[in-house]
Amino acid sequence: MSFSSFPCTMRVSVCVSLKQRNLEGYVGFANLPNQVYRKSVKRGFEFTLMVVGESGLGKSTLINSLFLTDLYSKDYPGPSQRIKKTVQVEQSKVLIKEGGVQLTLTIVDTPGFGDAVDNSNCWQPVINYIDSKCEDFLNAESRVNRRSMPDNRVHCCLYFIAPSGHGLKPLDIEFMKRLHDKVNVIPLIAKADTLTPEECQLFKKQIMKEIQEHKIKIYEFPDTEDDDDNKLIRKIKEKMPLAVVGSNVVIEVNGKKVRGRQYPWGVAEVENGEHCDFTVLRNMLIRTHMQDLKDVTNNVHYENYRSKKLAAVTCNGVDTSKTKGQLTKSPLAQMEEERREHVMKMKKMEAEMEQVFEMKVKEKKQKLKDSEAELERRHEQMKRNLEAQYKELEEKRRVFEEEKANWEAQQRILEQQKLDASKTMEKNKKKGKIF
Amino acid sequence: MHDQNCCAANSSHNSSGGSTLLGYIGIDTIIEQMRKKTMKTGFDFNIMVVGHSGLGKSTLVNTLFKSHVSRKSAGWARDEKIPKTVEIKAVSHVIEEGGVKMKLTVVDTPGFGDQINNDNCWEPISKYINEQYEKFLKEEVNITRKKRIPDTRVHCCIYFISPTGHFLRQLDTEFMKRLSHSVNIIPVIAKADTMTLEERQEFKQRVRKELEVSGIEFYPQKEFDEDMEDKSDNDKIREAMPFAVVGSDKEYQVNGKRVLGRKTAWGIVEVENPNHCEFAQLRDFLIRSHLQDLKEVTHNIHYETYRAKRLNENGGLHPISSSDTQESNL
């Protein structure tokens, strides 16, 4: 646990800007480091480690050796045991407790990296993963309720280089170039027991030369104020990239139990400084620089991501000359601007929609009117038809009445005639009888 | 040994089992005559090494023939850049042992499998192999043939498998599938000092199973076993393949002897010690017992397959005479 993140004005030492006052008695704020320590211990720590490399380079074994757990055991085989056709990004969480300190360790593995015949863009899933974690953190930071902010950003990326003995492969160079400004990249030489010490030296020199040639920014160890520490750090820097061997198998050598790999010609000890740089890696990663890795991720890589992201948001659809001035505004003002823009956009959209609505209504009304007129016309026509028919009917009836009247008249005449006829017959009868 | 009884062998029965000779004729001296002839003419052997860079190909070839015969013998800087496409580099040396001269050609393929996109990286290699067959075919088809056709055909292709300890890479299976029918492929596990003995056994089994499943026939191919003796010998070899090898051209002192090996901080890996790696087995197999067989299989089977394909394609080849300026139908 390093206190490098602790503000220096709290140290009881001579600071140039402040006048040192002599205290009359014991106040007690010298106890502050302990309070910070206790609080952090209660909270626990988080650390996310990403391992990238072709399959078969011993990534899972190294993780197991570093943290002395069987993260990938026989019951839950690691991604290396399964053949992958495309690059996947898998994460596994483990809670480790030691000396009262809790560490939530997340290991992100990338099975399938560099295994296909065509490996173009096999780094894309990795980049997407790192960006998505940064975005999650950005969103969590911008929220109103920030009580629980889990830090899932990738703090460190261990890149495994195959021990060819010649130099970096094009894939290695390409990958590191794309990721060195997003995450702390620490290159490692995997399976270092393949190389003899001379070959290892040559290989390391070759790699460092190529890294400098391609301007790849790997993680740099910060210089401390302590001279002794500086010496150690310089020694570590000379050994970069670290050549590691991983193993959790315990073998007995000269009566001592060590972790190592048993060969017919000897035992390669994992924790022996002359055999490989595993102890250097472990000390650096866990014992001294874990906090620094987190800080660099937070202060450098995350801030890069954040400023890029926020600048991109405000650049949408606005003149470039305007954006130059906008970039110097504070984020709050930027957000206000954004909100105003958004509101204006909404209003415009509303007005447009209203217009469209009106137009549609008018159309509909027109249509209705037209159909109404049409209906009226038809109605008139029908009425006229009806009247005409009615008139016809009347005519017919009159004709019929006339006929009836005629016929009746005729009938009466006939009847009259019949009567007359009968009358004359009677008269005739009377007259006849006289005869 | 010529005896005085070189009398006529009166064998009037034509039995298929061969007739018994009544005296010593001297037919067995033909072996001696052949040996003398071979020693005079010497013979060619062409070996191709394929694999990712950094797998120890050149070192292994140097170790096999105990001399600096790889392409790296002719001036090589350690920081040589990886070429952008697969190149074919052939280096020839004449080495002599016990009066027998051998013209050894090592064909190296730098750039294989090293790019980000390795699609079709086997094509230059396939083309090279076919070109050699084509050259030989052209010579054979000539009206006036040379007395001894120079044989540049690849007799053996050693394919180096990365010692990942898990599975074969996709590139490995693709390459071997495509080339196992035109050349003898011998898969070899490179840099075997990366793995402990148990890891080696497991890896070998997995690789063998995968090769079987993919239908890759590596040398010695099962279908070319001529008789039971061959079959049993080859079966034993096939069980042990792919050989896990370590190469080295540096000598160290172990138990008073000078051995080829690699010196690490925890011990010396002896290249020729069968407990450490299988280099000795590979060398015996390749050079001491099956060298001639490799050449024969290449000539009788792979070359004949190529020839038949070519003849069927063109509907017949017309031979050209060296004096004629007429162009052939090839």
Q: Is B274 on the interface with A (CB under 8 A)?
A: no
- Nearest chain A residue to B250, by CA: A196
pLDDT for A14 beyond 60: no
Distance from the B270 Cα atom to the nearest Cα atom in chain A, whole angstroms: 8
Question: Please, how many CA atoms are within 13 Å of residue A273, restricted to the half-sphere of its CB?
Answer: 5
- What residue type is assigned to position A116 of the chain? A
Interface touch A56/B163, C-beta < 8 Å: yes
Q: How far is B261 from chain A (nearest CA, A)?
A: 11
CA of A202, closest CA in chain B: separation in Å? 9
Cβ within 8 Å, pair A117-B266: no
Whether B118 has its CB under 8 Å from any CB of chain A: the answer is yes
Query: A306: burial class by Cβ within 10 Å (0-12, 13-18, 19+)?
Result: middle
Nearest to B267 among A167, A174, A265 (CB): A265
CB atoms A265 and B266 under 8 Å: yes
- The pLDDT assigned to B81 comes to 62
Strands B43-50 and B156-161: parallel
Here the tokens at position B286 are 């390749």
pLDDT of res. A56: 82
Parse chain B into domains and list their residue ranges: 41-69+83-312
Q: By CB neighbour count within 10 A (0-12 exposed, 13-18 middle, 19+ buried), where does A78 fall? A: buried
> In chain A, what residues touch B267 (CB-CB under 8 Å)?
263, 265-267
Per the document, the length of chain A is: 435
Q: Which pLDDT score, from 0 to 100, does residue B194 have?
A: 85
A150, A46 contact by CB (below 8 A)? yes
Q: Which amino acid is residue B5, in one-letter code?
A: N
Any CB–CB contact under 8 A between B258 and chain A? no
Give the least confident one: A156-170, A213-227, A313-327, B54-68: A313-327
Smallest CA–CA distance, residue A154 to chain B, in Å, is 25
Q: How far apart are CA B243 and CA A156, in angstroms?
A: 39
The residue ranking higher by pLDDT, A413 or A116, is A413
Measured CA to CA, the distance from residue B104 to residue B2 in angstroms comes to 37
Check if the beta carbon of residue A170 is closer than 8 Å to that of residue B237: no
Q: Which residues of B touch A169 (CB under 8 A)?
A: 53, 82, 114
Query: How many whole angstroms separate alpha carbon A308 and alpha carbon A17?
Result: 36
> For residue A3, what pLDDT band results from cuts at 50, 70 and 90?
very low
Per-residue model confidence as pLDDT tens digits over B22-60: 777 777 788 788 777 777 777 888 999 998 888 888 888
Interface touch B82/A120, C-beta < 8 Å? no
**Chain A to chain B Cβ contacts (< 8 Å):** 109
Parallel, antiparallel, or unpaired: how do β-strands B100-108 and B43-50 relate?
parallel
Task: Check residue B42 and give its pLDDT.
Answer: 76
Distances (CA, A) of B324 to B49, B135, B319, B328: 39, 19, 10, 10
Residues A409 and A403: their CA atoms lie apart, in Å, by 10
The answer to whether the CB atoms of A275 and B265 lie below 8 A apart is yes
Q: Among candidates A235, A187, A239, which has minimal Cα distance to A210?
A: A187
Inform me whether the pLDDT recorded for A125 exceeds 60.
yes
Residue A74: per-residue pLDDT:
46
The dihedral of CA B8, B13, B16, B21: what is its sign? negative
CB atoms near residue A286 (< 10 Å): 16
pLDDT tens for chain B, 330 residues: list them.
444 443 344 444 444 456 676 777 777 788 788 777 777 777 888 999 998 888 888 888 888 877 666 656 544 444 456 666 678 888 888 887 777 788 888 888 888 888 888 888 888 899 999 999 988 888 888 877 777 778 888 999 999 998 888 888 888 888 888 888 889 999 999 888 888 888 888 899 899 888 888 888 888 777 777 777 778 888 888 888 888 888 887 888 878 888 888 888 888 888 888 888 888 888 888 888 888 888 888 888 888 888 888 888 876 555 444 444 444 444
Rounded Cα distance, B80 and A370, in Å? 88
Tokens of B111: 């750039």
Residue A334's pLDDT is what?
A: 74
Measured in angstroms, the CA of A131 and the nearest CA of chain B are apart by: 23
**A334-357 confidence digits (pLDDT tens):** 788 888 999 999 999 999 999 999
Alpha-carbon gap, residue A203 to A220, rounded angstroms: 20
Express as a percent the part of chain A with pLDDT over 70: 84
State the pLDDT at residue A19: 62
Res A364: pLDDT: 95
With CA atoms as reference, the chain A residue closest to B57 would be A164
Ordered DSSP codes for B18-77? -PPPSS---TTHHHHHHHHHHHHH-EEEEEEEE--TTS-HHHHHHHHTTS--SGGGS---
What residue in B sits closest to A202 (Cα-Cα)? Answer: B78
With beta carbons less than 8 A apart as the criterion, state whether A154 and A293 touch.
no
CB contact under 8 A, A262 and B268: no
A chain contacts of residue B115, beta-carbon cutoff 8 Å: 170
Say yes or no for a CB contact (<8 Å) between A118 and B264: no
- Closest residue of chain B to A192, computed from CA coordinates: B194
Q: Are B189 and B205 in contact (CB under 8 A)?
A: no
Q: What angle do CA B147, B151, B155 make, to 5 degrees?
A: 145
Q: Tell whether B78 is within 8 A of chain A (Cβ).
A: yes
Closest CA to A119 of B52, B130, B55, B106: B52
Question: Distance between CA atoms of A195 and A163, rounded to whole angstroms?
Answer: 7
In terms of average pLDDT, the best of A234-248, A298-312, A405-419 is A405-419
Q: CB-based contacts of A295: which residues, under 8 Å, 6+ apart?
A: A4, A5
Q: How far is CA B242 from the centre of its chain?
A: 14
**ipTM of the shown complex:** 0.72
| pLDDT for res B101 | 80
Domains annotated on chain A, with CATH: 32-73+84-314 (3.40.50.300)
Chain B residue with CA closest to A275: the answer is B265
Percent of chain A with pLDDT over 90: 18
- Is the CATH number of domain B41-69+83-312 3.40.50.300? yes
Rounded distance, CA A44 to CA B291, Å? Answer: 66
A193/B82 touch (CB, cutoff 8 Å), yes or no:
no
Within 10 A of A360 (CB to CB), how many other CB atoms are there? 10
Among partner residues A120, A191, A266, which is closest to B266 by beta-carbon distance?
A266
**Got the DSSP string for A49-75?**
EEEE--TTSSHHHHHHHHHTS-SS-SS
At A146-200, the pLDDT tens digits run 776 778 888 899 999 988 878 888 888 888 888 888 888 999 998 888 888 888 8
The C-alpha atoms of residue B52 and residue B160 are separated, in whole angstroms, by: 8
Q: Does an H or E element contain B262, and which?
A: strand B257-264
CB A121 within 8 A of CB A174: no
Each residue's pLDDT tens digit, A32-45: 777 777 777 777 78
CA distance B174 to B190: 18
- Which residues of chain A are within 8 Å of residue B273 when distances are taken between CB atoms? 264
State pLDDT tens for residues B233-291: 888 888 888 888 888 878 888 788 888 888 888 888 888 888 888 888 888 888 888 88
Closest alpha carbon within chain B to A210: B79
Helix, coil or strand: residue B214:
coil
Determine, for residues B118 and A80 on separate chains, whether the beta-carbon distance falls below 8 Å: no
Predicted confidence at residue B1, as pLDDT, reads 43
CB-CB: which of B174, B191, B196 is closest to A261?
B196
B54 vs A164, A174, A193: nearest CB: A164
Which pLDDT score, from 0 to 100, does residue A329 have?
Answer: 56
The confidence score (pLDDT) of residue B144 equals 78
Q: Which residue has the higher pLDDT, A154 or A10?
A: A154
Neighbouring CB atoms inside 10 A of B12's CB total 5
Smallest CA–CA distance, residue B256 to chain A, in Å, is 16
Nearest CA in chain B to A114: B116
Name the DSSP class of A300.
I
At residue B323, the pLDDT reads: 41
Label residue A217 by pLDDT band (50, 70, 90).
confident
| Interface probe, candidates A213, A263, A271, chain B, greatest B C-beta count within 10 A | A263
Nearest to B161 by CA among B189, B125, B193: B189
Determine the residue of chain B that is closest to A86 in CA distance: B170
pLDDT value of position B137: 86
The Cα B113–Cα A117 span in angstroms is 8
Short-list A89, A61, A83, CA closest to A73? A61
CB-based contact B114 A170, cutoff 8 Å = yes
* Chain segment A71-88, per-residue pLDDT in tens: 655 444 454 455 555 677
Distance separating alpha carbons of residues B189 and B200, to the nearest angstrom: 9
Does this model's pTM top 0.80? My answer is no
- Inter-axis angle of helices A331-434 and A302-314, to 10 degrees? 40
Query: Which candidate in A82, A109, A115, A164 is best for mutational testing of the B interface (most B CBs within 10 A)?
Result: A164
Q: Which residue has the tokens 């993680």?
A: A219
Backbone angles phi, psi at B265, to 5 degrees: -70, -15
pLDDT at A370: 94
Distances from the Cα of B212 to the Cαs of B77, B176, B205, B216, in angstroms? 39, 12, 11, 6
Q: Is the CA virtual torsion A271, A272, A273, A278 positive or negative?
A: negative
CA end-to-end span of chain B? 51
At residue A2, the 3 state secondary structure works out as coil
**Is the pLDDT reported for residue A208 higher than 50?**
yes
Cis-peptide, bond into residue B220, ω within 30° of zero: yes
Q: Is B59 on the interface with A (CB under 8 A)?
A: no
HSE-up (13 A, CA, CB side) for residue B295: 11
Q: Is B55 on the interface with A (CB under 8 A)?
A: yes
pLDDT of residue A394: 95
Q: Which amino acid is at B177?
A: K
Position B167: which residue type?
Answer: F
Residues in chain B: 330
Kindly list the residues from chain A whose CB atom is less than 8 angstroms away from the CB atom of residue B203: none
Contact B118, A119 (CB under 8 A): yes
Q: Which amino acid does the sequence have at B270?
A: E
Of A56, A167, A262, the CB nearest to B164: A56
User: At A365, is the pLDDT very low, low, confident or very high (cuts 50, 70, 90)?
Assistant: very high
